[in-house]
Structure 1
Amino acid sequence: MSRTAGSHGPATLAAIRKAGLRLIYEHGYEALTLRRLAADVGILSGSLYNHIKTKQDLLFTLVRNHMTDLLANLDQALAGLDDPVAALAAFVRLHVTYHMERRYEVYIANSELRSLEPENRATIVAMRERYERQLIEILDHGVAAGRFRVADTRVGAFAIIAMLTGICTWYRPDGPLGPEEIVRIHTDLVMQGLAG
């Protein structure tokens, strides 16, 4: 196989990550072969090692990049929000929107956590816990202020995240509802469920 014209450095690495994301989403991590990945990118199999160390390195990078982006977006969405109701609405908007736009990344981060080696898994779990903690803190603040009613904010946070993440299983960009309407429905459901 000949090298794809213009495929070098950062462009090739981006192509490898994009193809890896799609192939893992479609076939699963275990079924992914580096030969297939190289063929999809248009490079020789041995050339992959100029860009990734191993298949595990690729998976970890994809999941870590997803979590890094999610956390950065959440930090930005919550910046300057002291009111727990406003913060919760921002959390819901960010989570639902991100999960509609980044379905491949979300699916892989959830379904292939089991495929990460222990050290890599521990890193990702710590990042997930940081994300969950931010929602727990919002709920704690809302309960303390008398704005939310929830018996256990940790359980409440897990329930909210599970409900919101479910969008990955049914959302279609060509569906009857637009993103704004979907965000509004989810926000209403969460707020009504926590009404104090």
Structure 2
Amino acid sequence: MARIPGSNGEKTLKAIYEAATDLIYQNGYEAVSLRQLASAVGIQAGSLYNHIASKQDLLYKLTSTIMVELNGALDEELRGIEDPVEQLKTYVRFHITYYAARKKQVFIGNFELRSLQGENYRKIVVLRDQYEKKLVDILERGAEEGCWAAADMRMTAKALIPMLTGVCVWYDPRGGYSIADLVEKYSSLIFHGISNS
């Protein structure tokens, strides 16, 4: 098996994931070939199959890793917080911070979902829906407690998540806004939009 000099199978797999993330982020999943990926890693194209089953399997592993991590990290952030207002503030802060710090990974997780097939697609949709449901639950609880206006909270969540997710497309830390600035401005927009007044 061809390997990166001085590496082992685990390092090679990590290099494959990193190179695939860069290539898919830059070019889109459909435009990236396994030959291109192997070249970026420094191995023969045939050697990729010692680490991945297929290009589709690779995309599934990239997207599932980020979605599982996303859900788990959000659960940790929300642990012990009962007040819906504080939960929503935490959700917004977490989402923006996470998405700004992992632009490539979350871009693939969100915008290459369309390239997943069959069961791979269905599994990622389940994970995506779990993440969205956490926001719906916060919004519904807040509406029940009078924290903000009652509305169709599923639709509200579907509007808010793409708004927050857009950070991974346009945010550049050299552009004059800090993460704290983003959190403050997005939080203001969201709370103003759902307020009772």
TM-score tier after normalising by the smaller chain length: over 0.9
What corresponds to 2:134 in structure 1? 134
Q: Percent identity?
A: 46
Query: What secondary structure does 2:29 align onto?
Result: coil
Instruction: State the 1:67 CA deviation.
Output: 0.3
Unaligned runs of 5+ in 2: none
Instruction: State the 1:76 CA deviation.
Output: 0.7
- Counterpart of 2:32 in structure 1: which amino acid? L
Query: What secondary structure does 1:81 align onto?
Result: coil
Deviations 1:35-94 (A, max 9, x none): 111111111111111111100010000000010111011101110111000000000001
Deviations 1:150-178 (A, max 9, x none): 41000111111111111122210111111
What corresponds to 2:5 in structure 1? 5
What corresponds to 2:18 in structure 1? 18
Are the counterparts in 2 of residues 84 and 139 from structure 1 also a CA contact under 8 Å?
A: yes
What corresponds to 2:117 in structure 1? 117
What corresponds to 1:58 in structure 2? 58
What corresponds to 1:163 in structure 2? 163
TM-score by length of 1: 0.96
What corresponds to 1:71 in structure 2? 71
Distance 1:4 1:153 in 2: 50
Are the counterparts in 1 of residues 84 and 141 from structure 2 also a CA contact under 8 Å?
A: yes
Q: 1:121 to 1:165 in 2, by over 3 A?
A: same
Are the counterparts in 2 of residues 150 and 156 from structure 1 also a CA contact under 8 Å?
A: no
Unaligned runs of 5+ in 1: none
What corresponds to 2:188 in structure 1? 188
Distance 2:163 2:3 in 1: 45
Distance 2:173 2:137 in 1: 32
TM-score by length of 2: 0.95
What corresponds to 2:173 in structure 1? 173
Distance 2:168 2:47 in 1: 34
- Counterpart of 2:179 in structure 1: which amino acid? P
Runs of 4+ in 1 over 3 A off after TM superposition: none
Are the counterparts in 1 of residues 15 and 41 from structure 2 also a CA contact under 8 Å?
A: yes
Distance 1:120 1:143 in 2: 35
Instruction: State the 1:3 CA deviation.
Output: 3.9
RMSD: 1.1
Instruction: State the 1:139 CA deviation.
Output: 0.4
Alignment length, in residue pairs? 195
- Counterpart of 2:81 in structure 1: which amino acid? L
